[in-house]
Homo-oligomer: A and B are copies of this chain.
């Protein structure tokens, strides 16, 4: 009887040990960057250690396009907005021959560059001014449901990277708040983020326009889109993070120069931070276009910043069955 009881206890202990030992990042190869992530996480959640980070300060920021999901051949938020602008042109609300819309509709990147990318985005957002925010988000959801990726043959919501979703869930399991900090249109990402990647709208920061309050004749309220875009790229990312969250993040994930300021912000604070640079070096499974750039420099300069090679560090880039 006693022997039996002991073996029950032993089995329970072994089961707990096995659960603890289960790989929390199964889509990551056992290479140095995975060890760096897990080692950092163990250190900052160890309540008795010197690197402990109190729960309220566990803020993690993830870039969206190219870091959390596929951004090639086109940015999802931009493709959606061009599609929405086309529907406004079809209803006579936009002149399709006027710039920048003529260039947007023809996907004429040289003309857009000559016009000025920033101004081209600003004008496109201004075209949506007065549109109810709910209608804009409904349009975004509809675009996502019907638009199939030209190479991978699935809708874009299925092109989030499992390694990054595993990382978001692992951080959340350790009481981190995970935020999306994107240069793309905030309301586009918010339209699906809760359903597709488990991030609620209040934790999505993107390029945004200040909405406008409209009191209707029947006393109800409709919030409509404003006309002035606040850009959320480069040094504007930490600015918007500070304005919205009011705390310095201790983890940042990005893939381009756009993400260097927020990554630098995360690793140079009083807490032990970590930053990862998703390097697109896998033309077979996805696209090879990443250049070291400023995130590469940060990795060379700072021991808490790490390059992630999609080719060598990721077991899978997409969910099984997508791509090769």
Q: Closest B residue to A246 by CB, please name it.
A: B201
* Contact A239:B265 (CB < 8 A) given known A56-B194, A201-B246, A246-B187: no
CB neighbours (8 Å) of A163 from chain B are none
Copies of this protein, total: 2
Taking the closest CB of chain B, its distance from the CB of A220, in whole angstroms, is: 4
Taking the closest CB of chain B, its distance from the CB of A48, in whole angstroms, is: 23
Q: Closest B residue to A301 by CB, please name it.
A: B219
Taking the closest CB of chain B, its distance from the CB of A180, in whole angstroms, is: 12
Q: Closest B residue to A268 by CB, please name it.
A: B220
* Contact A221:B56 (CB < 8 A) given known A201-B245, A213-B235, A242-B211: no
Asked if residues A238 and B223 are in contact (CB atoms below 8 Å), the reply is: yes
Option from B221, B226, B245 in Cβ contact (under 8 Å) with A202: B245
Give complex CA distance A262, B268 in Å: 39
* Contact A264:B221 (CB < 8 A) given known A210-B243, A243-B208, A246-B187: yes
Q: Closest B residue to A179 by CB, please name it.
A: B202
Q: Could you give, for residues 200-244 of chain A, a 1 whenever the CB lies within 8 Å of some chain B CB and a 0 otherwise?
A: 111010001011110100011101001000100001101110111
Interface size on A, residues (CB 8 A): 42
Asked if residues A221 and B268 are in contact (CB atoms below 8 Å), the reply is: yes
14 cross-chain CB contacts under 8 A: A133-B242, A177-B202, A190-B246, A201-B246, A202-B246, A211-B243, A212-B235, A213-B236, A213-B238, A213-B239, A221-B238, A221-B264, A221-B268, A221-B269
Q: Which residues of A contact B (CB under 8 A)?
A: 56, 133, 177, 186-187, 190, 194, 200-202, 204, 208, 210-213, 215, 219-221, 223, 226, 230, 235-236, 238-240, 242-248, 261, 264-265, 268-269, 301-302
